């Protein structure tokens, strides 16, 4: 073999031995590149955003109008001096129980001239007229109650025969309850008017004559069983005609008064349930709305803003226990309720234009969904479509949350 051939053979041998070394070196470079890429991804890939999650649930829901209210006596009776007289000291105190026809105060009328005596006679005749009016109103209220009772029975019969909806029966029951309450109020007004007649008659009979006949004492009696709310004039002194002496209340008849914004009052209807809380006991008491007063009044809020407010009056359903006239309560007026509602925390909703959206969590990532909501209260919102019960959604979504980002529950 010559020298040239020998060099060619040696060159090919060296080339074949160098090829495996180059392949191994390339594999090492590729592997190192992959390791560096993984390390970079771990170091620089953004961490999942922590978020508070809540669950879409199914259950009862209420929409309420909340505000402070107070308990007050349904019927108050102000016993006043029918004529100018000298008042003997009143020994009664606030909170004392009194019986019907019990003597409350004793007066001795001051001699009157002819004009004043005519005023006493006119006051007696006016009291008689008001008593007749109160009696007629009570009779009318009794007829209205009788009509409401017959209408309720007729509606209930039609509901059983499936001619009308059950809501009609509820309205009929509410109308009957309202008529019964009006009858009780009319009877109370009639009793007060009769008491005024007795007081005016006593004043008329006890008038001293100008010739100096002996003065007879004028004794004012209680028109109903009840208790003393306030003693206006306790000490012995001379009082003018019409001066309030004692205010009485009926312990068996209370009502709840809550003032709310006029924009909320239009949503309240007679028959709505009122829940009483924060009155000092652990139990939630129930009442039923009897009247939404038709006239609003102006009230200055704590921030100095003028507000138009309306009184809502409710009758207790549960016994009020130790609550008395003027006691404060926290009232919640239920204007809508549902027993089996798909609902979500209201803090998970946000606006996109005119639509409501939420961020649902699936596979550890946030998914932005459009939802349709119905009723809403301070804590929850009714879901009509867009979410199913059991779905996880983000509560208080921040600006960092976007569609598709990774999230993890905040511990």
- What's the pLDDT at 284? 94
Residue 7 lies in a domain: no
Lowest mean pLDDT among 22-26, 127-131, 140-144, 171-175: 22-26
Strands 217-221 and 103-109: antiparallel
Q: What does the pLDDT look like over 372-392, one tens digit per residue?
A: 999 999 899 999 999 999 999
The answer to whether residue 86 sits within a structural domain is no
Is 132 in the same domain as 189?
yes
Counting the structural domains of the chain, the total is 3
Please report the pLDDT score of residue 310 as a whole number. 96
120 and 177, same domain (yes or no): yes
Q: With 70 as the cut, is the pLDDT of residue 16 above it?
A: no
How does the average pLDDT of the chain come out, rounded? 85
Last residue of a domain, one of 176, 207, 238: 207
3 within a domain of the structure (yes/no): no
Dist. CA 36–CA 45, nearest whole Å: 13
What is the bridge-based pairing of β-strands 407-409 and 49-55?
A: parallel
Residue-level pLDDT at 211: 43
Give the CATH number of the domain where residue 400 resides.
2.40.420.20
Indicate if the pLDDT at residue 260 is higher than 80. yes
Contact assessment for residue 307 and residue 261, using Cβ atoms and an 8 Å cutoff? yes
Quick one: 328 and 362 in the same domain? no
> Is residue 162 located within the same domain as residue 190?
yes
Does residue 74 fall inside a structural domain? no
Does 150 share its domain with 132? yes
Q: Which of 178, 207, 236 is the last residue of a domain?
A: 207
Supply the CATH number for residue 310's domain.
2.40.30.170
Confirm whether 182 is domain-assigned: yes
Task: Give the Cα separation of 392 and 345 in Å (integer).
Answer: 11
pLDDT at residue 7 greater than cutoff 70:
no
Using one digit for the tens of pLDDT, what is the confidence trace for 60-114? Answer: 999 999 999 999 988 888 999 987 888 999 999 998 999 989 999 999 877 766 7
Cβ-based neighbours of 66, under 8 Å, separated by 6 or more = 330, 331, 332, 333, 378
Mean pLDDT over residues 220-248, rounded? 90
- Residues 373, 393, single domain; the answer is yes
In a shared domain, residues 359 and 387: yes
Q: Which two tokens stand for residue 287?
A: 């009442």
Nearest to 54 by CA among 397, 350, 356: 397
Segment 170-193, tens digit of pLDDT: 888 888 888 888 888 888 888 888
Rounded CA separation 228/76 (Å): 10
Find out whether 94 and 231 touch, Cβ atoms under 8 Å: yes
Query: Quick check: is 212 in a domain?
Result: no
Shared domain for 301 and 379, answered yes or no, is no
Q: Does a structural domain hold residue 214?
A: no
List the single range of 193-202, 323-332, 345-354 with lowest mean pLDDT: 193-202
Structural domain ending residue among the three candidates 322, 338, 354? 338
105: in domain: no
Tokens of 248: 């009485």
Give the residue from 139, 149, 151, 217 showing the smallest Cα distance to 183: 139
Hey, is 284 helix, strand or coil?
Answer: coil
Range with the lowest mean pLDDT among 21-30, 277-286, 363-372? 21-30
Q: Are strands 97-98 and 365-376 parallel, antiparallel or unpaired?
A: unpaired
Residues 151 and 195 in one domain: yes
- DSSP letters for 347-389: GG-EEETTEEEEEEEETTEEEEEEEEEEEE-SSEEEEEES--T
Cα separation, 216 vs 226, in Å, equals 28
118 burial via Cβ count (<10 Å: 0-12, 13-18, 19+):
exposed
Q: What's the pTM?
A: 0.61
Please tell me whether residues 118 and 196 are part of one structural domain: yes
309-322 residue pLDDT tens: 999 999 999 998 88
The whole domain housing 343 covers 50-60+339-409
pLDDT band at residue 275 using 50, 70 and 90 as cut-offs? very high
Give the pLDDT confidence score for residue 155 in this predicted structure.
85
Question: What is the pLDDT, as a whole number, of residue 179?
Answer: 86
Same domain, 143 and 182: yes
């Amino acid at each position: 073999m010559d020298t040239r051939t020998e060099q060619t053979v040696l060159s090919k041998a060296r080339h074949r031995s160098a090829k495996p070394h180059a392949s191994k070196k390339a594999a090492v470079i590729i592997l190192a590149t992959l390791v560096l890429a993984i390390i970079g991804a771990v170091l620089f890939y953004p961490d999942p955003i922590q978020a508070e999650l809540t669950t879409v649930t199914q259950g009862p829901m209420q929409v309420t109008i909340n505000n402070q209210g107070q308990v007050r006596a349904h019927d108050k009776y102000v016993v006043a001096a029918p004529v100018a007289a000298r008042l003997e000291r009143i020994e009664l105190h606030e909170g004392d129980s009194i019986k019907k026809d019990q003597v409350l105060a004793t007066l001795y009328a001051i001699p009157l001239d002819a004009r004043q005596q005519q005023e006493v006679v006119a006051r007696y005749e006016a009291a008689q007229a008001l008593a007749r009016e109160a009696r007629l109103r009570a009779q009318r209220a009794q007829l209205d109650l009788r009509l409401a009772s017959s209408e309720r029975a007729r509606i209930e019969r039609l509901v059983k025969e499936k001619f009308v909806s059950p809501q009609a029966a509820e309205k009929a029951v509410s109308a009957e309850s309202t008529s019964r309450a009006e009858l009780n109020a009319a009877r109370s007004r009639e009793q007060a008017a009769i008491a005024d007649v007795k007081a005016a008659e006593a004043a008329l009979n006890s008038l001293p004559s100008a010739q100096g006949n002996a003065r007879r004492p004028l004794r004012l009696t209680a028109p109903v069983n009840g208790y003393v709310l306030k003693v206006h004039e306790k000490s012995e002194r001379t009082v003018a005609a019409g001066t309030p002496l004692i205010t009485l209340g009926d312990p068996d008849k209370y009502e709840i008064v809550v003032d709310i914004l006029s924009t909320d009052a239009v949503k309240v209807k007679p028959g709505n349930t009122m829940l009483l809380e924060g009155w000092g006991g652990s139990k939630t008491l129930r009442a039923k709305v009897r009247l939404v007063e038709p006239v609003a009044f102006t009230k200055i809020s704590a921030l100095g803003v003028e507000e138009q407010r309306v009184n809502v009056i409710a009758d207790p359903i549960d016994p009020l226990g130790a609550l008395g006239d003027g006691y404060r309560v926290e009232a919640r007026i239920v204007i809508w309720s549902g027993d089996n509602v798909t609902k979500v925390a209201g803090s998970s909703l946000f606006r996109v234009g005119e639509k409501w959206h939420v961020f649902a969590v699936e596979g550890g990532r946030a998914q932005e969904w459009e939802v349709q909501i119905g009723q809403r209260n301070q804590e929850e919102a009714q879901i009509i479509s867009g979410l199913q019960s059991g779905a996880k959604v983000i509560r208080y979504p921040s600006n960092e949350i976007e569609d598709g980002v990774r999230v993890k529950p905040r511990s």
